[in-house]
Amino acid sequence: MDLALLGFLMVATFMTLIMTKRMTPLVALIVVPTAFALIAGFASGLGDMMIDGIKNLAPTGVMLLFAILFFSIMTDTGLFDPLVNRLLRVVHGDPLAILIGTVVLCALVSLDGDGSTTYIITIAALLPLYKRFDMNRLYLCCLLMSTSGIMNLTPWGGPTARAASALKLDPATLFLPLIPGMIAGLAFLIGLAIWFGRKERRRIGHVKASEPTAFTGMAVSQFPEARRPRLRWFNAALTLMLIGGLVSGILPLSVLMMLAFAVAMIVNYPQVAEQKERIAAHAGNVLSVVSLIFAAGIFTGILSGTGMVEAMSKQVVGFIPPVLGPYMAPITALLSLPFTFFISNDAFYFGMLPILAEAGGHYGVSPMAIARASLMGQPVHLLSPLVPSTYLLVSLAGIDLADHQRFTLVPAAVVCVVMTLVGMAVLAFPLMG
């Protein structure tokens, strides 16, 4: 059977099963690609493909494991209580102000270009507010992920660097004309935050920070014995050093997280029994995230190892009729939404983008225009079950992945459309070649 057709069927089957909740993402990520690989006749090399995919995601899995443990412990110690109390005074119990602040804070933190770090910092600061006021955490995840998708287009972000490398372009030249579209996307998200905020105002109204009914679900209240107020300054310094190390890249992310976790445990909970208790308290959260990461490795390993990604890319380009050739830039922007969702960024930018650029070149569309257009789907890409930071976000926020995908898909797609329209308007990539 045709590899491209099998690839499309595999992705469609996988998404249908998890979106309809007929199968958990963990099970679907393992069973679905395995079944399709066997159908395609790759039984002999199946194990090697799986191991290769797992190896590629292993450092990410380790990093997320210790990141969740570290920041969960920091929350248990009460490190973020002063920040939460200050934010409470600033927003004056207004959910609309909290939602607008979500976009602004995420945009600033996202400048480091790392999605996992962004989610860790913003969730730590904002989730207690959402819990205290009993606000809809789907709003939180929607705004954080969409904002992160926009800010991920910076030259030091992964997608722009990949697109520039794949087509041998200068990242700065590639990025600068995208700024108006990014600003437009952020403006749309501010408007979306206002709309969400008005809905929350009608539902819960303005809540005074001093009202006892406003305090619901605080993480520290679950483990009062774990609080360490006397060590707050040490924990703050340790966290700032960790974030500084993440930004500077002094050591691999996984190593930094492991070291920070070990130091935090030794200082805050010197007794072995206390350490075991803290780890056990968050073991379920850690297991659910890390297991999904390694299962995603099986999916991506099979998708790449069988050649399905390459076949799917060529098939899609082959479907574009010659009459649409001069419109390759907006077509690339459109294709970036589903393809960066269904396959990894590496597969799209290093596998499919050169093919699209070559096709566009025949019709006078520059590789630079194709590269810029290919970045427009990033807000939707972050919804993909193949993105490790997605699992970190929903895990920290305590919501279901499928619920998050259904809720956020339309707003994220609209952000992509807004950026695309503005990109064409300012000639970052023209409508026609």
Residue 177 pLDDT > 60, yes or no? yes
Query: What is the number of alpha carbons within 13 Å of residue 204 lying toward its C-beta?
Result: 20
Kindly tell me if the per-residue pLDDT of 45 is higher than 70: yes
Is 422 part of a structural domain of the chain? yes
Gap between the Cα atoms of 87 and 92, Å rounded: 8
Dump pLDDT digits (tens) for 81-128. Answer: 776 667 667 777 788 999 998 998 888 878 656 677 788 878 888 888
Residue 214 falls inside a structural domain? no
Average pLDDT over residues 195-218: 65
Average of pLDDT values for 191-203?
93
pLDDT tens digits for range 130-151: 988 889 999 999 999 999 999 9
**How many whole angstroms separate alpha carbon 71 and alpha carbon 236?**
11
Q: What is the number of residues in the chain?
A: 433
Question: What's the pLDDT at 162?
Answer: 82
Residues of 145-154 as b/e, b for ≥16 C-beta within 10 angstroms? bbbbbbbbbb
The closest of 191, 110, 189 to 151, measured between CA atoms, is 110
Domain that holds residue 169: 3-36+45-204+225-426
Quick check: is 92 in a domain? yes
Contacts of 312 (CB under 8 A, 6+ apart): 3, 4, 7, 8, 343
Q: Which range (1-5, 129-133, 406-410) has the least confidence? A: 1-5
Domain assignment present for 217: no
Band of pLDDT at residue 214, cut at 50, 70 and 90? very low
Q: Is the pLDDT of residue 333 over 80?
A: yes
Rounded-to-integer distance, Cα 202 and Cα 400, Å: 25
pLDDT at 378 (0 to 100): 92
* pTM across the whole model: 0.72
pLDDT (0 to 100) of residue 88: 64
55, pLDDT greater than 60: yes
Residue 211: inside a domain: no
**pLDDT given for residue 87 in this prediction:** 66
- What is the distance between the alpha carbons of residues 161 and 174, in angstroms, rounded to a whole number? 9
Q: What is the mean pLDDT of residues 177-195?
A: 95
Instruction: Find out whether 372 and 340 touch, Cβ atoms under 8 Å.
Output: no
The total number of structural domains that make up the chain: 1
Has residue 55 been placed in a domain?
yes
Q: Is residue 431 part of a domain?
A: no
209 domain residue, yes or no: no
pLDDT band at 377 (very low <50, low <70, confident <90, very high): very high
pLDDT above 90 for 199: yes
Q: Using 50, 70 and 90 to split pLDDT, how confident is the model at 196?
A: very high
